[in-house]
């Protein structure tokens, strides 16, 4: 495996674990303000991100590449309102998309088709993640100022259950 591709894949493990920390922080925010459905939604996001990190970890191990684990930074954003959290979520998903695209581009440059195929799932997943984040913002804009509607949205988000990724390595 090309050294740059290896380095970027290894860094992505840390970025995915950071994403899990960030979404746990979002879950904490919503739990503290009594929106358990939103807290559940972000708890599941955190679970997904941990699984994503492990997919990168396993991929590198399967390719007989060394995995180096780095410290995970503490989330440092302060939120003044619910919309701040949702907008930070979209911003973060767009950032992760750029990271996946950078890895894909590096793999493409060296004709690392195996890594490109591995990343195809993540490219699709990031499209879904950005759509979900945008949908939450839209719903909050539509319903967030009405307590009854916010209650119903919170109830909707409380029904989300965790589904492990179906990517086969």
Is it the case that residue 77 has pLDDT exceeding 90?
no
Long-range contacts made by residues 43-51, C-beta under 8 angstroms, separation at least 24? 44/160, 44/161, 44/162, 45/19, 45/89, 46/19, 46/20, 46/21, 47/20, 47/162, 48/162, 48/165, 49/16, 49/17, 49/19, 49/20, 49/23, 50/16, 50/17, 50/20, 51/164, 51/165
Is it the case that residue 169 has pLDDT exceeding 70?
no
CB 2 within 8 A of CB 112: yes
| Euclidean distance between CA atoms 67 and 103, whole angstroms | 16
Is it the case that residue 80 has pLDDT exceeding 90?
yes
According to the model, what pLDDT value does residue 90 have? 98
- Specify the pTM: 0.93
Residues 6-63 pLDDT 10s: 999 999 999 999 999 999 999 999 999 999 999 999 999 999 999 999 999 999 999 9
């Amino acid at each position: 495996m090309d050294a740059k591709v290896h380095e970027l894949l290894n860094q992505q493990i840390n970025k995915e674990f950071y994403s899990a920390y960030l979404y746990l922080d979002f879950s904490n925010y919503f739990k503290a303000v009594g929106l358990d459905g939103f807290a559940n939604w972000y708890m599941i996001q955190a679970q997904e991100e941990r699984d994503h990190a492990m997919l990168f970890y396993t991929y590198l191990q399967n390719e007989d590449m060394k995995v180096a684990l780095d410290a995970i930074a503490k989330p440092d954003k302060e939120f003044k309102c619910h919309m701040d959290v949702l907008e930070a979520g979209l911003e973060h998903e767009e950032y992760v998309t750029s990271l996946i695209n950078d890895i894909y581009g590096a793999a493409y440059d060296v004709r690392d088709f195996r890594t490109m195929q591995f990343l195809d799932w993540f490219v699709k997943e990031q499209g879904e993640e950005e759509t979900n984040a945008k949908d939450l913002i839209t719903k909050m804009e539509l319903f967030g100022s009405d307590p009854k509607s916010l209650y119903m949205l919170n109830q909707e988000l409380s029904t989300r259950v965790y589904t492990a990724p179906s990517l086969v390595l």
